[in-house]
Structure 1
Amino acid sequence: MRTCDDALLADVRARLATVPAGAADLTDVVRDAVRRRGVVLGSHALERLVHDVRDATYGAGPLQTLLDEPGVTDVLVNGPRDVWIDRGDGLEPVPIDLGTDDDVRALAVHLAAAEGQRLDDASPVVDARLPDGTRLHAVVAPVCPRGAIVSLRVLRPGSLPYTELVEAGMLPPGSSDLLPALVTSRANVVVAGATGSGKTTLLAALLALVPADERIVVVEEARELVPTHPHVLHLLARRPNVEGRGEVTLADLVRATLRMRPDRIVLGECRGAEVRELLTALNTGHDGGWATLHANSAADVPARLAALGALAGLAPEAVAAQAAAALDAVVHVRRTAGHRHVAEVGIVALDAGQLVVTPALTWDGHGAPRRGPGWERLVDRLGEGP
């Protein structure tokens, strides 16, 4: 028994289900399961088998090796022999054989079940998180022609020092002092950008600059923000189980932070109706807050906020008024040819009743900083020139 077959996995999982989580040593369980089959393995073979069983039981099975590879941000499965990864420079195929279409479907179902989600003909689309925080999106027939399509987004908690981001060129000329000034002045800031543009990495580095005597409460769907700071509390949302119960939303958690004596409220990603609770919190004396938001540019942030506000039942006028009073600045980050960098810093304001983000600092094609019409207002907010 040198392969991790279905029967062995079923035996191991049945044994693990009878003991409290973490109470059994996986190596001992696998060794006992193999011995019951009359097979004796050497130490190296047993170690490899335990590794495969661990990946199949707690990880992403045959895809776990790809997820563990340094630099990999995405693993995409289009079919049994149609697998792609992104190491930050674009998609590239990988030579891996996942068996049959049915095997791919079974893998997708197993990954969804690990997070208590249902994936079958009646519920053919799922969004979930693996135990290690990896984002899972999967669809099965009849949504796709056969088997399953699986998309995995690797989440690597970012805690790079701010100085390293400066050295790596993520902070262009003129911004390396400006962004820490936003932290020091307790501005309320949105970090905007596309998926994979470096929003979380930048925000984690900036939160590490918060004074050590301040209490930071971070609300997220999965733990991504891990700033190097002595007083950080993490609140994680919970999806409903297969019976539709037990859900704890981001909006619930943002409301909870208000009773936790926070010095800084941070929303890891604003993506839904929780925008109402965020704007309310930042409008009631809780300054120094930060949030990330998906947007194509700083100028698109007002439209994104209006769209999210609509999910919470807020009229565009209400969102504009709340956001203009709550938010001070937008930092937009972008990934260009694999290089992540700050592309713009803007100031948030109302213009004829419309929410706008006015450019305060941008950079030309040669990387030279250019002060925009919002520069003076930003300097006034910071209290002194950065």
Structure 2
Amino acid sequence: MIAEAGDRDRPRDARPARHRLGRQRVVAAASTIETAPLGPLAAFVTEKTTDLLVNGAAGLWVDDGHGPTRASGWSLDEAAVRELAIRLIAIGGRHVDEAHPCVDVRIGAGVRVHVVLPPVSTSGTLLSVRIPRLSTSRLTDLRAAGMLTGDEAQRLASVVEARENLLITGAAGVGKTTLLAALLAEADGGERIVTVEDVAELRVDHPHVVGLEARQSNLEGAGGVGLDQLVREALRMRPDRLVVGECRGAELRELLTALNTGHDGGAGTLHANSIDDVPARLEALGALAGMTDVGVARQAVSAIGLVLHLERVGGVRRLARLGRFHLDAHARLAIGPA
């Protein structure tokens, strides 16, 4: 376990009681969080926690899978929140200050920490912590949780077996990564899965999964490794299935090209508020990669076999719609029911 700054030289039992309690609860929740020195945040983590959101001195919101709710018992002021944010970013190997006010790091085996400092933030120091799930999910688990019906789970298992390329869409926190991991777990055990992620989050119950993670530039602006480069590197690693955790920019071009050149069975995720917004989102990302709308449309129709859109309804994450891409009368990308 990584000790907190200032705690390393103290006897274990002499460390602050709130920190000992935090560690006990984190260990009980998920062993991946044992190495994450979350300090006062640790006491708010349970086995169901997905996100911890600190809004400066305004308070802490905790998402246990049903949307963020304000936590009682949290009393850090702005100075203490800023100190905590700086320390967590330092543990992740980076530095955050007024010159570099927005930083994203991964701590330990998958805890994602994102910080925004004033004056970029107008609400004080903003700290967002994504807690990974240690346990892996299968389609049967998602059916039990209400995300899928029995028929949907059976259909998706058949889609994976048929090696259709998949795009999973939805807003933040609706379970895109969870569903992607469950689908990949259905792949044949003899296949090699290569994942590419901005921040490593996928936990796949499969015997042959290797992952690549993007790296931000250092303070001098050097050393960055983007998702577009990692997709190209992944293609040299003999993948049976190529997976991009989240398409955000130029990597879309590399992924569509790969899926159009014989790398079937691949998958990716995309932020979109509704399934009808997906074509426009892909066009916008394609523009970042220098692709025309027509180019994106033709590549997407050929490369992506099925779109799975997730929503959160009444606190329950569920598969809302399935769609397939096609070209409209103007050769632009459109989507219809599947």
Q: TM-score range by the shorter chain?
A: 0.7 to 0.9
Deviations, residues 103-162 of structure 1 (Å, cap 9, x unaligned): 221212222222333322223333333334333332222234575222222232562222
Q: 1:96 deviation in Å?
A: 3.5
Alignment map for 1:21-36 (pairs within 5 Å) = 30-31=10-11
Match 1:317 to one of 257, 278, 294: 294
- Segments of structure 2 that go 5 or more residues without pairing to the other structure are 24-32
Which letter does structure 2 place at the counterpart of 1:354? R
Match 1:183 to one of 160, 163, 182: 160
User: Is residue 63 of structure 1 aligned with residue 41 of structure 2?
Assistant: yes
**Native 8 Å contact 1:116 1:241 kept in 2:** no
**Native 8 Å contact 2:197 2:227 kept in 1:** yes
Which letter does structure 1 place at the counterpart of 2:63? D
User: Is residue 119 of structure 1 aligned with residue 96 of structure 2?
Assistant: yes
Return closer, same or farther for 1:217/1:146 CA change in 2, 3 Å cut-off: closer
Alignment map for 1:96-107 (pairs within 5 Å) = 96-107=73-84
Partners of 2:191 and 2:116 lie apart in 1 by: 43
Partners of 2:129 and 2:159 lie apart in 1 by: 34
Q: 1:292 deviation in Å?
A: 1.0
Q: Partner residue of 2:333? A: 355
Q: Partner residue of 2:143? A: 166
Partners of 1:322 and 1:196 lie apart in 2 by: 28
Partners of 1:164 and 1:58 lie apart in 2 by: 27
Partners of 1:164 and 1:267 lie apart in 2 by: 23
- Give the TM-score taking structure 2 as reference length: 0.87
Partners of 1:272 and 1:51 lie apart in 2 by: 42
Q: Partner residue of 2:28? A: none
Q: 1:271 deviation in Å?
A: 1.5
Q: Partner residue of 1:264? A: 241
- Give the TM-score taking structure 1 as reference length: 0.77
**Native 8 Å contact 1:114 1:131 kept in 2:** no
Partners of 2:101 and 2:271 lie apart in 1 by: 26
User: Is residue 229 of structure 1 aligned with residue 229 of structure 2?
Assistant: no
**Larger deviation, residues 159-168 vs 141-150:** 141-150
**Native 8 Å contact 2:143 2:150 kept in 1:** no
Alignment map for 1:206-221 (pairs within 5 Å) = 206-221=183-198
Residue-pair matches, total:
326
**Native 8 Å contact 1:172 1:341 kept in 2:** no
Which letter does structure 1 place at the counterpart of 2:162? S
Partners of 1:188 and 1:317 lie apart in 2 by: 20
**Larger deviation, residues 87-96 vs 269-278:** 87-96
Q: Partner residue of 2:70? A: 93
Q: How large is the Cα RMSD of the aligned pairs?
A: 2.8
Q: Partner residue of 2:254? A: 277
SS across alignment from 1:255? helix
**Native 8 Å contact 1:52 1:61 kept in 2:** no
Deviations, residues 201-236 of structure 1 (Å, cap 9, x unaligned): 111111111111111111112332222111111111
Return closer, same or farther for 1:322/1:127 CA change in 2, 3 Å cut-off: same
Match 1:335 to one of 305, 309, 312: 312
**Native 8 Å contact 2:19 2:39 kept in 1:** no
Partners of 1:125 and 1:56 lie apart in 2 by: 26
Q: 1:98 deviation in Å?
A: 4.8
Q: 1:245 deviation in Å?
A: 2.0
Which letter does structure 1 place at the counterpart of 2:71? V
Point out the structure with max Rg over C-alpha.
1
**Native 8 Å contact 1:81 1:96 kept in 2:** no
Alignment map for 1:40-59 (pairs within 5 Å) = 44-45=13-14, 51=20, 58-59=36-37
Partners of 1:328 and 1:137 lie apart in 2 by: 33
Q: 1:91 deviation in Å?
A: 2.6
Q: 1:290 deviation in Å?
A: 0.8
User: Is residue 297 of structure 1 aligned with residue 278 of structure 2?
Assistant: no
SS across alignment from 2:219? coil
Q: 1:247 deviation in Å?
A: 1.4
**Native 8 Å contact 2:36 2:111 kept in 1:** no
Q: 1:90 deviation in Å?
A: 2.9
- Segments of structure 1 that go 5 or more residues without pairing to the other structure are 13-28, 32-42, 361-386
Alignment map for 1:194-213 (pairs within 5 Å) = 194-213=171-190
**Native 8 Å contact 2:274 2:309 kept in 1:** yes
**Native 8 Å contact 1:83 1:93 kept in 2:** yes
Return closer, same or farther for 1:176/1:144 CA change in 2, 3 Å cut-off: closer
